[in-house]
């Protein structure tokens, strides 16, 4: 197989938070005196509101009708908590520079526009990609094939010549595979189990140094 492009997921693949997301959600609700919200309920609501500008529709879903806390206040508090905790993998810019010598390189990340663009801006990585796509800018998010097709269109490389690198078995691996891409699942302690349909696997601690050789072997 000839590889001409590489696409990446962002969260838990190239960047992590230094505290669990459940803790950050709790910190945000405490900061604005909002009712406690579960991480599972948040993820469920998040999956229903991928194509949005902000997280406000998510929190509108979650906050009880009797709550007097505006969803925009909780949205801002949670966004700030995540940005404060956001930690990049060491050496990502060097990895992307290396890959761009051989491939078109893109980022496809699920989530609302303001939140995800804020992360990309804080990390300072946009110049290292040929394209960055946030699903809030699209009609559908991962694992919908339309999201992956949008990435291929922006990279101007067909799916069968594109490798997608991500950690989530459904959103990243099965979604990209169903679109015709080759997939590399990123593994880490306490993370998702290896997805059988993945074409290859790599430990997150080895991603920066090991991915170029892995791609050349596909």
Residues 153 and 192 in one domain: yes
For residue 183, the 8-state DSSP code is E
- For residues 174 and 135, give the distance between their C-alpha atoms in angstroms, rounded to a whole number: 17
pLDDT tens for 173-190 read 999 999 999 999 999 999
pLDDT classification of 158: cutoffs 50, 70, 90 = very high
**103: Cα separation from own chain's centroid:** 20
Residues 117 and 210 in one domain: yes
Q: What is the pLDDT of residue 143?
A: 96
Span 198-215, mean pLDDT? Answer: 98
Check whether 50 has a pLDDT greater than 80. no
From 60, 85, 110, give the residue that closes a domain.
85
- Cis previous bond, 143, omega within 30: yes
Q: What is the pLDDT of residue 46?
A: 87
Taking alpha carbons only, the member of 215, 4, 15, 24 closest to residue 125 is 15
Domain range for 179 is 5-16+88-217
pLDDT tens for 4-30 read 999 999 999 999 999 999 999 999 999
CATH number at residue 205: 3.40.50.1000
Check whether 83 has a pLDDT greater than 80. yes
Taking alpha carbons only, the member of 192, 159, 204, 156 closest to residue 177 is 159
pLDDT classification of 69: cutoffs 50, 70, 90 = confident
- For residues 207 and 91, give the distance between their C-alpha atoms in angstroms, rounded to a whole number: 10
For residue 160, the 8-state DSSP code is G
Q: Backbone dihedral region of 160: left (phi > 0), alpha (psi from -120 to 50 degrees) or beta?
A: alpha
% of the chain beyond a pLDDT of 90 = 88
From 52, 85, 118, give the residue that closes a domain.
85
Give me the number of domains the chain comprises.
2
Check whether 51 has a pLDDT greater than 80. no
3-state secondary structure of 34: coil
Q: What is the pLDDT of residue 96?
A: 98
Retrieve residue 212's tokens: 């170029």
pLDDT tens for 39-49 read 999 989 988 88
């Amino acid at each position: 197989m000839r590889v001409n492009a590489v696409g990446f997921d962002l969260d838990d693949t190239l960047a992590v938070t230094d505290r669990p997301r459940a803790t950050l959600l709790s910190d945000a609700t405490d900061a604005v005196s909002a009712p406690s919200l579960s991480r599972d309920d948040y993820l469920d609501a998040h999956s229903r509101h991928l194509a949005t500008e902000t997280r406000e529709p998510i929190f509108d879903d979650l906050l009880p009708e009797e709550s007097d806390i505006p969803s925009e206040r909780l949205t801002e508090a949670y966004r700030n908590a995540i940005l404060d905790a956001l930690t990049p993998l060491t050496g990502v810019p060097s990895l992307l520079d290396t890959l761009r010598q051989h491939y078109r390189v893109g980022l496809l990340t699920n989530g609302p526009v303001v939140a995800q663009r804020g992360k990309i801006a804080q990390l300072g990585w946009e110049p290292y990609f040929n394209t960055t796509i946030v699903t809030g800018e699209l009609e559908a998010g991962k694992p919908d094939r339309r999201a992956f097709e949008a990435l291929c269109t922006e990279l101007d490389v067909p799916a069968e010549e594109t490798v997608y690198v991500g950690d989530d078995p459904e959103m990243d691996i099965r979604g990209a595979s169903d679109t015709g891409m080759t997939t590399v699942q990123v593994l880490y302690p306490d993370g998702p189990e290896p997805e059988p349909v993945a074409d290859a696997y790599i430990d997150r601690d080895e991603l920066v140094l090991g991915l170029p050789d892995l791609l050349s072997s596909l």
